[in-house]
Amino acid sequence: MSFLARARTVARPGFSRWMVPPAALCIHLCIGQAYAFSVFNLPMTKLIGISKSAPDDWKLTELGWIFSIAIFFLGASAAVFGRWVEEGGPRRAMFTAGVCWAGGFVLSAIGVYVHQLWMIYLGYGVFGGIGLGLGYISPVSTLIKWFPDRPGMATGMAIMGFGGGAFIASPLSVWLMQRFSSPTHIGVAETFLCLGAIYLCFMWVGATIVRVPPDNWVPAGYKPPVAPQKLITKNDVYVYDALKTPQFWLIWWVLCLNVTAGIGVLGQASAMSQEMFPGKVTAVAAAGFVGLISLFNMGGRFFWASISDMIGRKNTYFCFFTLGPVLYILVPWTGSIGSVTLFVVCFAIILSMYGGGFSTVPAYLKDMFGTRYVGAIHGMLLTAWSAAGVLGPVLVNYIREYQIGNGVPKAQAYNTTMYIMAGLLVVGFICNACIKAVHHRFHMRPDHEAERAAAEVAAAGDPAGA
């Protein structure tokens, strides 16, 4: 379909680059729904029993796998399809992401209707997860090319949308379920269908308005820095060559450790606040706490990525890995003095840096490996997120269980976890400190791409199809 071809998305003279961030937000605000999927968990445990779970109803533990499968396929699809996204252009990727994401909702709606859990695993988990992966990386390199003067801010805006998607999805889903529910029916299937339709429209609007800049385009008045900068390359590294560099794996660990520390406490924030401040923080207040730190997660994505344009990526992560351990160590102290305000302040800053870690990393990759394959390299780096998604919650939950099993009061059961999280960030600090410029032997030569294309055509044995 030529409408989706990269060549059809090249901007004409007069196109404003400020149209591109809303296009990216159309995608990220939709796929950010993943963070709000938990609003469906309880209703889906009562689809048969309606007022309470019946023996044939699904268990929470079974439903928990839906999100885990989706996050796994996010990382896997971003890694596998990254190069396709980069070479096919953002419109094709956004369009496909919309089809997968909305299709996942439709298949899940059928799964709810016929009460077959495997259809939801396949729908939301597999198809939705692929939509998440494609959608997440689709606008990244396009934004970096449109904003060479502020790449951190540009990608920060889009990735902020991923954090903000849950703020829209959560109340919208609750409202839709209320509208479609009756005393004899819970309207989850209808809500899935509505969300699928809404998200498809939204994502296709994004795919329609997105544009790539013409080759060698620069913003009016922008002068690329003449003096060479040690940690900002002017060369490109081929996507699979990036995997051979120590820099890729150091950044992989930087992201993984930063996310592990944040995701572990994000998942347990509600329980942690109530158990550390018994009698002071109610269940309703704890829900408010989760909402508040999620706002900082979203705001931090824009704030820290924008700051990184001024102070550099390495220095931004230096802030995360020096401030983070201090704040984690302070958390048990806030519990011991009973200060809810200080506890909230600590976690607000911690979660802002968790979000900042996500949004600053595309620009870090661009600095290290150039803009040519940054989207694909970013896709492969997202496997760090999948790993952290398992590691973080496991660390927090198991250490808490172990502590309580050994007679530690609930209010103090998180202390060791906080110290371990601080330790993880210290390891992240070391990884970040070890990052140096990529060796020139990894840089693409001007004739590199032509050689590679010829080799691929020969390997395929079908020049026309290639």
Partner 1 sequence: MSNNGQNGTTPLQLVIAWGFVGIPLAWGVLQTLVNAMALFR
For residue 422, CA distances in Å to 55, 215, 343, 385 come to: 43, 45, 16, 18
Quick note: the x/- pattern for partner 1 over 260-299, rule CB under 8 A, is ---------------------xx-xxxxxx-xx-xx--x-
CB nearer to partner 1: pick between 15 and 249: 15
Q: Smallest gap, in angstroms, from Cβ of residue 287 to partner 1? A: 6
Give the whole-angstrom CA distance, residue 408 versus residue 267: 21
Of positions 54, 87, 197, 219, contacts partner 1 by CB under 8 A: 219
- Identified binder of partner 1 from the candidate list 6, 8, 17, 443, rule CB under 8 A: 17
Distance CA 425, CA 10 (A): 42
Residue (23 or 47) nearer to partner 1, CB: 23
Site string for partner 1, 301-340 (x = CB under 8 A): ---------------------------------------x
Nearer of residues 100 and 281 to partner 1, judged by Cβ: 281
CB nearer to partner 1: pick between 202 and 429 = 202
CB of 343 to partner 1, least distance (A): 10
Residue 39 is a binding residue for partner 1 (CB under 8 A): no
Phi, psi angles (nearest 5°) of residue 58: -75, 150
User: What contacts 11, CB < 8 A, 6 or more positions away?
Assistant: 211, 212, 213, 214, 217
Least distance CB 49 / partner 1 (angstroms): 28
Residues 6+ apart with CB under 8 A from 191: 40, 173, 176, 177, 180
Cβ neighbours of residue 341 under 8 Å, at least 6 residues apart?
none
DSSP string, 279-295: TTS-HHHHHHHHHHHHH
Distance CA 366, CA 233 (A): 8
Instruction: Read off φ and ψ for residue 430, nearest 5 degrees.
Output: -65, -45
Number of Cβ within a 10 Å radius of residue 421: 27
Nearer to partner 1 among residue 138 and residue 233 (C-beta): 138
Residues 344-363 that bind partner 1 (CB under 8 A): 344
What is d(CA 244, CA 432) in angstroms, rounded to the nearest whole number? 18
Interface region with partner 1, contact rule CB under 8 A, candidates 8-16, 39-47, 131-139, 414-422 = 8-16
Comparing CB distances to partner 1, the nearer of 191 and 260 is: 191
Minimum CB distance to partner 1, residue 437 (Å) = 30
Q: What is the dihedral of CA 122, 124, 129, 131, to 10 degrees?
A: 110
Specify the residue for token string 């299937």. Answer: 189
Q: Which residues bind partner 1 (CB under 8 A)?
A: 11-19, 22-23, 25-26, 29, 161, 164, 166-171, 205, 209, 213-214, 217, 219-220, 281-282, 284-289, 291-292, 294-295, 298, 340, 344
